[in-house]
Amino acid sequence: MNTFNFSEVKELLSTKKRILLTSHTNPDGDALGSMLAMYHFLIQKGHDVNMVVPTPYPDFLAWMPGQEKILIYKENKEKCDPLFNDAEILFSLDYNAPARLGITTQAFKNANVIKIMIDHHIQPDLNSYNFVLSTVDTSSTSELVFEFMDKINPDLINKTIAECLYVGIMTDTGSFSYACNYEKTFRIVAELYKLGIDGVAINRLVYSTNTENRLRLLGYALSDKLRVLHKYSTAYISLTKDELVKFNFNDGDTEGLVNYALSIKGIKFAVLFTEKTNKIRLSLRSVGEFSVNKFARDHYKGGGHKNAAGGDSYLSMEKTLKKFERLLSEYSKELANN
Ligand code: 5GP
Ligand code: MN
């Protein structure tokens, strides 16, 4: 972990400030969990707090405490831009560089204020921030936010904050199935339970609120669109815009889909390709040493973690898949040996 000057940040937060919390494009459970927890923490300290994310978040997170106060930049630029200019402190939660804000990047860069990053992705952009709390040896940003609060004002961590943090830790570990081989993660989760959270109910709110369409899309993707290339220990699923429209696609409906491809015995590398308005979005996963972070950085202007990353392709779906299969042959040694 890099050294983070807790006492200086504590001092900064000891008097009322205008604070803007931000998280990444296509916010997930950890993005919202860490941001909302921080919101509930800072308002107790008397700060004036706003929250902005670049694009909408999925319906299965639309019950989280305080989520109705989040502004979506894409839908409300006029209201969001002044918040960047007026803030005294900006927080970046669950992302490692301003570019991960997509359409909101410029607003962030223009703001000449104190910037604090709390994140768990590799290669944080240290130059864009005054304070960086970043480590990869952690389940989630929510876990780091717990540690942050625990150092600054542990007495303020309440049940509402605990619920938000639990969503972040639970979703970023696939319900405690990866990125959680840490004793500390479970100690923190135990602390959240001590505060009275109902983990079973939270799990149901997040994972058992599928629409019929979402489940049928999953069935279609697995039966018709899954391609398995045992030669490269790779499996992928591709979904075009037309296919998504057919299943009345909503943001978040494809969340977790890539993990089905990765769950096949012998598969070490899995990708989900989804067609967006002007690009193909890649969601990449691996098990073991093959770094999808590097793969996404090198070929798709993306990044993330060693075993979970994202990126984009600006070719057609057909060309994107052709190029991808060609690339695999370049990596055949790596994919065969790890
Ligand atoms: P997902 O496939 O769930 O969208 O993303 C997987 C992981 O990669 C997440 O931790 C996410 O923050 C990160 N990630 C996704 N897209 C990008 C991207 O375009 N750039 C970078 N640097 N990280 C990404
Ligand atoms: Mn995260």
Residue range 166-171: mean pLDDT, rounded:
98
Nearest to 10 by CA among 131, 160, 97, 120: 131
Tokens 């570990």 belong to which residue? 173
- What total of structural domains would you count in the chain? 2
**Taking the mean position of all CA atoms in its chain, how far away is CA 223?**
28
Q: Which ligand is nearest to the CA of 307?
A: 1
Q: Are residues 175 and 253 in the same domain?
A: no
The two tokens of residue 141 are 């940003």
Residue range 136-142: mean pLDDT, rounded:
97
Q: Are residues 217 and 302 in the same domain?
A: yes
Residue range 256-277: mean pLDDT, rounded:
97
Which of 158, 180, 207 is where one domain is finished?
Answer: 207
Does 196 reside within a domain?
Answer: yes
DSSP letter for 125, please: -
Cα 319 to averaged position of ligand 2 atoms, centre (Å): 31
d(CA 113, CA 89): 6
Does 173 reside within a domain?
Answer: yes
**Domain containing residue 269:** 212-337
Nearest to 273 by CA among 237, 305, 242, 246: 237
**What CATH number did the domain enclosing 203 receive?**
3.90.1640.10
Ligand 1: which of 117, 283, 298 to mutate, judged by most atoms within 8 Å of the beta carbon? Answer: 283
Q: Are residues 64 and 96 in the same domain?
A: yes
Q: Are residues 28 and 167 in the same domain?
A: yes
pLDDT band at 308 (very low <50, low <70, confident <90, very high): very high
Q: Which ligand is nearest to the CA of 124?
A: 1
* 308 touches ligand 1 (CB under 6 Å): yes
Cα 91 to averaged position of ligand 2 atoms, centre (Å): 15
| Pairing verdict, β 234-239 and 269-275 | parallel
Does 222 reside within a domain?
Answer: yes
Taking ligand 2, which is a single-atom ion, which protein residues have CB atoms under 5 Å away? 30, 94, 140-141, 172
Q: Are residues 252 and 121 in the same domain?
A: no
Q: What is the DSSP secondary-structure string of 234-285?
A: EEEEEE-HHHHHHTT--TTTTTTHHHHHHTSTT--EEEEEEE-SSSEEEEEE
Task: Evaluate if residue 28 carries a pLDDT over 60.
Answer: yes
Cα 293 to averaged position of ligand 1 atoms, centre (Å): 9
* 93 touches ligand 1 (CB under 6 Å): no
Give 108-136 pLDDT, tens digit per residue: 999 999 999 999 999 999 999 999 999 99
- Contact between 112 and 128 under an 8 Å Cβ cutoff? The reply is no
Q: Are residues 244 and 271 in the same domain?
A: yes
* The predicted structure's pLDDT at residue 250: 87
Q: Which ligand is nearest to the CA of 26?
A: 1
- Contact between 235 and 226 under an 8 Å Cβ cutoff? The reply is yes
Residue range 244-266: mean pLDDT, rounded:
94
pLDDT band at 3 (very low <50, low <70, confident <90, very high): confident
Percent of the chain predicted with pLDDT > 70: 99
Q: What ligand 1 atom has the least distance to the C-alpha of 272? A: 2
The overall average pLDDT reported for the chain is 96
Q: Which ligand is nearest to the CA of 143?
A: 2
Q: What is the DSSP secondary-structure string of 88-112?
A: SEEEEES-SSGGGGGGGHHHHHH--
Within 13 Å and on the Cβ side, how many CA atoms surround 256?
Answer: 20
d(CA 267, CA 272): 14
Does 84 reside within a domain?
Answer: yes
Residue range 286-304: mean pLDDT, rounded:
96
* The predicted structure's pLDDT at residue 336: 85
pLDDT band at 233 (very low <50, low <70, confident <90, very high): very high
* 100 touches ligand 1 (CB under 6 Å): yes
* The predicted structure's pLDDT at residue 201: 98
Cα 164 to averaged position of ligand 1 atoms, centre (Å): 20
Cα 14 to averaged position of ligand 1 atoms, centre (Å): 34
Cα 267 to averaged position of ligand 1 atoms, centre (Å): 20
**What CATH number did the domain enclosing 277 receive?**
3.10.310.30
d(CA 317, CA 227): 14
Q: What ligand 1 atom has the least distance to the C-alpha of 172? A: 10
Tell the residue nearest (CA) to atom 8 of ligand 1. 309
Count of other CB atoms within 10 angstroms of residue 75: 10
Helices 29-44 and 159-172 pack at an angle, to 10 degrees, of: 160
Does an H or E element contain 81, and which?
Answer: helix 77-86
Residue 60's region, left for phi above 0, alpha for psi from -120 to 50, else beta, is: alpha
Percent of the chain predicted with pLDDT > 90: 97
* The predicted structure's pLDDT at residue 252: 85
Does 1 reside within a domain?
Answer: no
* 66 touches ligand 1 (CB under 6 Å): no
Residue range 70-88: mean pLDDT, rounded:
97
Give 171-224 pLDDT, tens digit per residue: 999 999 999 999 999 999 999 999 999 999 999 999 999 999 999 999 999 999
Q: What ligand 1 atom has the least distance to the C-alpha of 258? A: 2
Task: Evaluate if residue 37 carries a pLDDT over 70.
Answer: yes
pTM for this entry: 0.93
Residue 271 pairs with which residues in a beta bridge? 236, 284
Task: Evaluate if residue 337 carries a pLDDT over 70.
Answer: no
* 206 touches ligand 1 (CB under 6 Å): no
The two tokens of residue 130 are 């005054």
